[in-house]
Amino acid sequence: MKITFYGAAGCVTGSNYLIETEKFKFVVDCGMFQGSKTLKENNYKEFAYDPKSVDFALVTHAHIDHTGLLPKLVKKGFTGPIYATEPTVDLLGFLLPDSAHIQDVEVMQKNRRNERKGLPPLEPIYDEFDAQKAISLLKGVKRYDAFNPVPGCTVKFYNAGHVLGSSSIEVIIEEKGESRKIVFSGDLGEKDHPIVNDPDQFKQTDYLLVESTYGTRVREEVTKEERLNKLADVFARAIERGGNIIIPAFALERTQDLLHDILTLKQRGQAREIKVVIDSPLATDITRVFTRYPECYDEDAREILQKMGNLFDHPDFRFTATVEESKALNEEKGIVIMSASGMCDAGRIKHHLKHNLWKPENTVIFVGYQAEGTLGRLIIEGIKTVRIHGEEVSVEAQIEQITGYSGHADQNGLLEWMGSIESVRGNVFVIHGEPDSSEGFASLIQQKFGFRAIAPKMGETFDLPASVKEAHKQEIKPVYAMSGVAQVPPQGPDSHNLYAELMLKLAEFMRYTKDENKRRQKLQELLGRL
């Protein structure tokens, strides 16, 4: 049996793992690369394996960095079933067409620029037809119900506590008279996260793939009450300034988490003045999906449901439907605008930042992880000027961060989850983290638990011994690394970020340097180095 890491190895996005046995092949997740332009360029590359040869797919949860290339997989010839929990199937019915639409719009904009530059046109990675074909292959399964996608393979989904429907997946493979278990952690949530229940734990496995988004980071411990009080305090100060409050929030989970907490504050008599606009048709659709699965709610969410009859229904909550409604928000004052994407790298949130970021009376609240190279990351790191849709925008608004909303467990949470595992007979593969995070967490796992742990690199293949006894005895190393796989840029700003920074500094130099000779000299120096 072999496992190859085609995504989320040395980076956080693009999850995609291929497992090959003598009788069948399957993938776990097939996600889109997000973050810097260098990472996103990987989405346009051909798969390093033949999608036609894959028998089935398993999906841990609905986030696009785990599912966004499923339509491309289908476009390139995959025809097998795609297994996911029932909430995940429902969510993907909205998320995949939306992803296709975003690509259509982005490619159309790029092609306009390319045409003016005399460059050849681009094609979208996939279109809505491909997305609908992928949706037609989805098979909803219930958590804890074991099933056999093919003979010799048993699969069971557990709760990962990350987003609605998110799962850890246990796969048992029978081969050469041996039974081997692989556990895929998926993205693991924090305890006491809004709405969803805490993650399930495991006792033993032969092989484990565990995420490491926060593998080397310990967030300040924030209780539910501290999170609510911080939100109320930020709202109060923002109201005093009299401006708008802009919250970049993913359409899936983070939007619903915030609505849940704002509703809790309103029930307590706090945040009465707060009027929230959810400016995301996708978030509106996803919120409706949440209302269909109250059995997935935790105790707090069920209590609100019993009191109000609906978790997200309040006179102060408004959902936009059209582009015209979205544009009209630029004329309103004193409102909360919640919009996607959560990392500010696409969607309507970029328009709202463009119109609000330069006004000191406004507030921007970040409530989640911002990947390296994204606009959100640049803003929270204190950059003074950003480029949005080709224009310079000064960062004058008040920038706030509220912890306690992360969908990912931090190092302590990951260690607590690992602590329930009594035995890993083979190896732990530490994935879904930037290099320092995955490598650091792999080292920590070895120190604390004595398990062999590896942080695989993109394209590396590991040959897993047929005998569990052999797996326990020998150290597993990659047998080879595939060529033509996704490119992971070095940590820090990629070339596109550096280019944008250079353009901003160059524009500033030209604006404030009045001496023509100095300007000519500096520009000639730069040109001479290129």
The per-residue pLDDT string of the chain (530 residues; one tens digit each, 9 = 90 and over) reads 999 999 999 999 999 999 999 999 999 999 999 877 788 889 999 999 999 999 999 999 999 999 999 999 999 999 999 999 999 999 999 999 999 998 888 888 888 888 888 888 888 999 999 999 999 999 999 999 999 999 999 999 999 999 999 999 999 999 888 899 999 999 999 888 889 999 999 999 999 999 999 999 998 888 889 999 999 999 999 999 999 999 999 899 999 999 999 999 998 888 888 999 999 999 999 999 999 999 999 888 888 888 877 788 889 999 998 999 999 998 999 999 999 888 888 789 999 999 999 999 999 999 987 877 789 999 999 999 998 988 899 999 999 999 888 889 999 999 999 999 999 999 999 999 999 999 999 999 999 999 999 999 999 999 988 666 665 555 677 766 665 677 776 666 667 677 777 777 888 788 888 888 888 888 888 888 87
Q: What is the pLDDT of residue 314?
A: 87
Q: What is the pLDDT of residue 467?
A: 64
Of 423, 23, 513, nearest to 202 by C-alpha is 423
CA distance 234 to 403: 12
Q: Which helix (H) or strand (E) holds 31?
A: none
pTM: 0.84
Residue 383: count other Cβ atoms within 10 Å of its Cβ: 14
Angle 395-398-400 from CA coordinates, rounded to 5°? 115
Is residue 106 within 8 Å of 90, Cβ to Cβ? no
Residues of the chain with CATH 3.40.50.10890: 224-401
Residues in contact with 214: Cβ distance below 8 Å, sequence separation at least 6, in sequence order: 406, 408, 409, 410, 411, 413, 414, 437
Name every residue whose Cβ is closer than 8 Å to that of residue 160 and which is 6 or more positions away in sequence: 60, 61, 166, 167, 168, 185, 186, 187, 188, 189, 199, 200
Q: What local confidence, expressed as pLDDT, does residue 492 receive?
A: 65
Cis peptide before 341 (omega within 30 of 0): yes
CATH tag, 2-218+407-481: 3.60.15.10
Q: What is the DSSP letter of 414?
A: H
Domain(s) of CATH 3.60.15.10: residues in the chain: 2-218+407-481
Q: Which stretches does DSSP call E strand in 46-166? A: 56-58, 82-85, 138-141, 147-150, 153-159
Question: pLDDT value at position 312?
Answer: 86
- The rounded radius of gyration (Å) of the Cα atoms in the chain is 24
Neighbours of 519 (CB within 10 A): 13
The first and second tokens of residue 55, run together, are 């028998």
CA 459, CA 29: separation in Å to the nearest integer?
15
Of 71, 84, 197, the C-alpha closest to 134 is 71
Q: In whole angstroms, what is the distance from residue 347 CA to residue 113 CA?
A: 19
Q: Under the phi-then-psi rule, with left for phi > 0, alpha for psi from -120 to 50, and beta for the rest, what region is 215?
A: alpha
Please give the single-letter amino acid code of residue 213: T
| Cβ contact 19:56 at 8 Å | no
Q: Which three-class secondary structure state does DSSP give residue 302?
A: helix
Structure confidence at residue 416 (pLDDT): 96
Both tokens of residue 84?
């996911």
What b/e readout covers 192-228, taking b as 16+ CB neighbours within 10 angstroms? ebbbbbbbbebeebbbbbbbbbbbbbebeebeeeebb
How many C-alpha atoms does 87 have within 13 Å on its Cβ side?
Answer: 28
87 neighbors 167 (Cβ within 8 angstroms): no
CA distances from 299 to 199, 227, 275, 305 (A): 14, 17, 26, 10
SS3 86: helix
- At residue 450, the pLDDT reads 95
Domain 224-401: CATH architecture, name and number where available: 3-Layer(aba) Sandwich (3.40)
Q: Which residues contact 440 (CB under 8 A, 6 or more apart)?
A: 215, 216
Those residues with Cβ within 8 angstroms of residue 257's Cβ, 6 or more apart along the chain or in another chain: 193, 194, 195, 367, 405
